[in-house]
Chain A
Amino acid sequence: AQKVTQAQTEISVVEKEDVTLDCVYETRDTTYYLFWYKQPPSGELVFLIRRNSFDEQNEISGRYSWNFQKSTSSFNFTITASQVVDSAVYFCALSYGGATNKLIFGTGTLLAVQP
């Protein structure tokens, strides 16, 4: 079965703190993709990153970084020096079988960054 688990329902931090959002996935496929999306109050899901199952290199983009570990089936997302504008719901998602537009989402983590 394919599944994505985001155990953290809500996280609250103070501005400038670092925060890590956890994501654990399950799949029997050897070829799959992992994604992170941000959903601000407006509702649109904003694409942040895509990772394929053969690329375990960590990635950094500005204040954002992602840690992909196949050994633990995890794809965690860290925001360094958080800002109020980072407040949103963050979703981790999985696609498999070569499909990139059929996503299985986790339940999301609501991040609240207090000024």
Chain B
Amino acid sequence: KAGVTQTPRYLIKTRGQQVTLSCSPISGHRSVSWYQQTPGQGLQFLFEYFSETQRNKGNFPGRFSGRQFSNSRSEMNVSTLELGDSALYLCATSGGTEAFFGQGTRLTVV
């Protein structure tokens, strides 16, 4: 069974640009969540999607958005990038019990 796949693994963007990250869940998992990991703030929940609907939302500005497709794949978008958005972005998928994580996308904003 394939695990959670996140693409790309690494990204370098310039301030003010926007970026889209992708997450393909484990087959059969309908819940996809996104987390931001930084040295200063640790692991923070961004949002969760289930059956193409946002089910939960963390405390992040509107520049952070997401969506989920009918095949449960999810994308996360960050607009007007700031230096502080540099982080490891992790996607987690769940079939209703525990959450399984991908390897993450390392975003660097310069």
Contact = CB atoms under 8 A, between A and B. Distances in A.
B56 A47 contact: no
B43 A105 contact: yes
A99 to B, nearest CB: 6
A50 B97 contact: yes
Contacts of A101: 31-33, 48, 92-94, 99
4 pairs of A and B residues whose beta carbons are closest in the complex: A45-B101, A105-B43, A101-B94, A44-B103
Contacts of A103: 33, 35, 43, 45, 92, 99
> For the complex, would chain A's binding face be called helix, strand, loop or mixed by DSSP majority?
loop
Interface stretch (A24-32, A35-43, A59-67, A69-77): A35-43
B90 A45 contact: yes
Given A99-B48, A103-B92, A105-B43, 4 more contacts: A42-B103, A43-B104, A44-B102, A104-B45
A21 B56 CA distance: 30
B42 interface: yes
Contact of B33 (A50, A102, A108): A102
Interface of A: 35, 37, 42-47, 50, 91, 99-108
Nearest to B47: A102
B101 A37 contact: yes
A45 B99 CA distance: 10
A50 B103 CA distance: 20
B43 A47 contact: no
Given A99-B56, A101-B48, A107-B42, A35 B98 contact: yes
Nearest to B102: A44
A107 B96 CA distance: 25
B100 A108 contact: no
A102 B104 contact: no
Q: Which of B44, B99, B103 has the most CB of A within 10 A?
A: B99
B106 A47 contact: no
